[in-house]
Amino acid sequence: MIGFLDHTWSRGGRARLRELLLTPLGHADFIMKRQRVLQRLGSRLTGFDSTDLGHLLESVDRYASSSLVELPQTSLGCMYVRLRYPGMVEELVGGLEALIRLLDKVQLLAGLLENSSEEDELLPIATLLASCLQRRSIRALRRARTGSRRQLRLACLDRTVRRTDREVLIALIDALYRLDALQSLARASQRSCFTYPEVVDSRYPLVTARRAFHPLISSPTPFDIDLDSSGRVVFLTGPNMAGKTTYLKTCGIIVVLAHIGMAVPAMSARVSIFDRLFAVLSIHDNIDRGESYFLAEVRRVGELVDRLSRGERMLALVDEMFKGTNVMDAHDATELVVSRLARCEKSVFMVSSHLVELADRLSPIPAIRFLHFDAAIGDGRLLFSYELKPGVSRQRLGMALLEREEVARSLEGVERAQSV
């Protein structure tokens, strides 16, 4: 998911972006404040020229962390060192040159971030940028960029900058990386058809969205999402490739983005606060430990049950539960788990399954909502509408696919080819 969110200027900003994604906000007020920050950044930084900013940040980071000996503070002393160690002086002066160019960017950013509110997470960044520009050594450094003997004048400032302002520079770089991550979220939130959701501290869980879509599909078919206390379990059926997994993933993406304060891929959305997004979308066996696919499934579902038993508010997405065992065991196990999940008032669930016969046994449970995607075969081709519909899909396309791929016809000649 980080691919379409990554509009960072620097590698350090990319690392901070990952941190933001891994530390979702847990209170509606914090999320709403983040939304306002991203909206302001999206408008204020529109014309900002970030060219070479990533390179400058890395250069200044290396300079501030350098273990090279500090240069003398006199021109004569610097000339002597340059004669003896020209490479060292060139490297340090190069770092100071990069710092000067970075400070030009900082001055522009400080102006764009003016008037940040006291409750705004941009305020510490804006304050640090402004205070850094006012430091005596920084002002002297920026003045030294012009005039004759420029390199010597810069070299004479190396000791002051690295000894007096090293911690300030490190803090400045970190603040710019943090700003970089936030502006990346702001730019991603400006994608077409994205909107900022309403996030609520609700006693009962809910995820609703109108015309939601998966952001990585080029021409997606939008659909609605309705998960709440009256239908806290969605039991999703339909043939392979019809859209079930995409539907589950889209719901998960909306919840994740909402909890980091971003806009979401939908015309409108309303999301309650969750403690955890729990996904059972990809299960693998473990040959080294002698764990079968089914055992891996059971343990993953057991982890889900353990989290629920702790009282966590959770959105759980389960794709084709217990497909690693025989049909009868899968029926019984799925019925047991889904019927018990429907009793969990603090959480909501999406479960996709090919076990359509379970619908008759689960339909008396009012908290379970049945939805499906369908498909058809026309002119020898599979046709998918990708439209979400109420009810259960009882389509069986397996034999039709065998016919379409001419596997059934090929089997007619196998006996002749294999006979002795």
Enumerate domains of the chain plus CATH numbers. Answer: 2-189 (1.10.1420), 194-418 (3.40.50.300)
Give CA–CA dist 50/66, Å, rounded: 25
Predicted confidence at residue 1, as pLDDT, reads: 58
Predicted confidence at residue 146, as pLDDT, reads: 62
**What average pLDDT does range 54-82 have in this prediction?**
93
Give CA–CA dist 216/245, Å, rounded: 13
Q: Worst-scoring range by mean pLDDT, 65-79, 83-97, 274-288? A: 274-288
| pLDDT tens digits, 269-279 | 999 999 999 98
Give CA–CA dist 264/229, Å, rounded: 22
- Rounded to two decimals, the pTM is 0.87
Q: Evaluate if residue 173 carries a pLDDT over 60.
A: yes
Q: Worst-scoring range by mean pLDDT, 133-147, 205-219, 228-242, 405-419? A: 405-419
Q: Worst-scoring range by mean pLDDT, 25-29, 184-188, 383-387? A: 383-387
CA atoms within 13 A on the CB side of 188: 26
The answer to whether the CB of 255 falls within 8 A of the CB of 269 is: no
Mean pLDDT score across all residues of the chain:
88
Q: Which helix (H) or strand (E) holds 365?
A: none
Q: What would you report as the CA-atom Rg of the chain, rounded to the nearest whole angstrom?
A: 29
* 163 or 257, which is more confident: 257
Q: Which helix (H) or strand (E) holds 390?
A: strand 389-390
Give CA–CA dist 31/254, Å, rounded: 14
